[in-house]
Amino acid sequence: MSKKQRKAALKYGYRSGLEASIQEQLLELNVPVKYEQVKIEWEDLMYRTYTPDFILPNGIIVESKGRFTADDRRKHLAVKAQHPELDIRFVFTNPNSKLASGAKTSYGQWCDKHGYKYAAKLIPTEWLKEKGKDRHPVVIVLPFEKIKRR
């Protein structure tokens, strides 16, 4: 993404050009979507929340990634373990990108290994047509027995 594209995306409240292009796709298809409106609690060595990029009307959570860092991967494995009921999917700028310089595993291969669906650049129309209803609360909390609230 060029500096100009990133600057334009930031101007309209997005964190990347990929997020902006996904939002544009959804607007063109008249798909009502929530952008960064839900928080998901997860536990690492401390209490944290994760704000997914898009919540589709059918409840599918879509995370867009240009870079998929080790911290991102660790977070998503923890969130999946702590919230197995959530359907989180990825849209990568390039799912064939390698996890690190010299790595053999691509972003897409990592998703396959860990049971995540993924796509390149835009949300596949099949995902938009899947049955379901967004019933996500504004905050998706960890089950009480998993954490000690202060």
pLDDT per position as a tens digit, 40-51: 888 777 778 899
Q: Kindly state whether residue 130 falls inside one of the protein's structural domains.
A: yes
Q: Kindly state whether residue 10 falls inside one of the protein's structural domains.
A: no
Q: Which of 57, 52, 67 is nearest to 26 (CA)?
A: 57
Q: Kindly state whether residue 14 falls inside one of the protein's structural domains.
A: no
CATH of the domain at 119: 3.40.91.30
- In angstroms, the CA 133 to CA 30 distance is 16
Q: Kindly state whether residue 107 falls inside one of the protein's structural domains.
A: yes
Work out the average pLDDT over 2-30.
Answer: 78
Work out the average pLDDT over 105-117.
Answer: 98
Q: Kindly state whether residue 77 falls inside one of the protein's structural domains.
A: yes
| Cβ-contact 88, 80 below 8 angstroms | yes
- Residue 150's pLDDT band, with cuts at 50, 70 and 90, is very low
Q: CA-based angle 86:89:95, to the nearest 5?
A: 155
Predicted TM-score (pTM) of the model is 0.74
- Domain count across the chain: 1
Q: Kindly state whether residue 71 falls inside one of the protein's structural domains.
A: yes
Q: Kindly state whether residue 142 falls inside one of the protein's structural domains.
A: yes
Domain that holds residue 109: 34-146
Q: Kindly state whether residue 78 falls inside one of the protein's structural domains.
A: yes
In one letter, which amino acid is 9?
A
pLDDT per position as a tens digit, 30-81: 998 888 889 988 877 777 889 999 999 999 999 999 999 999 999 999 999 9
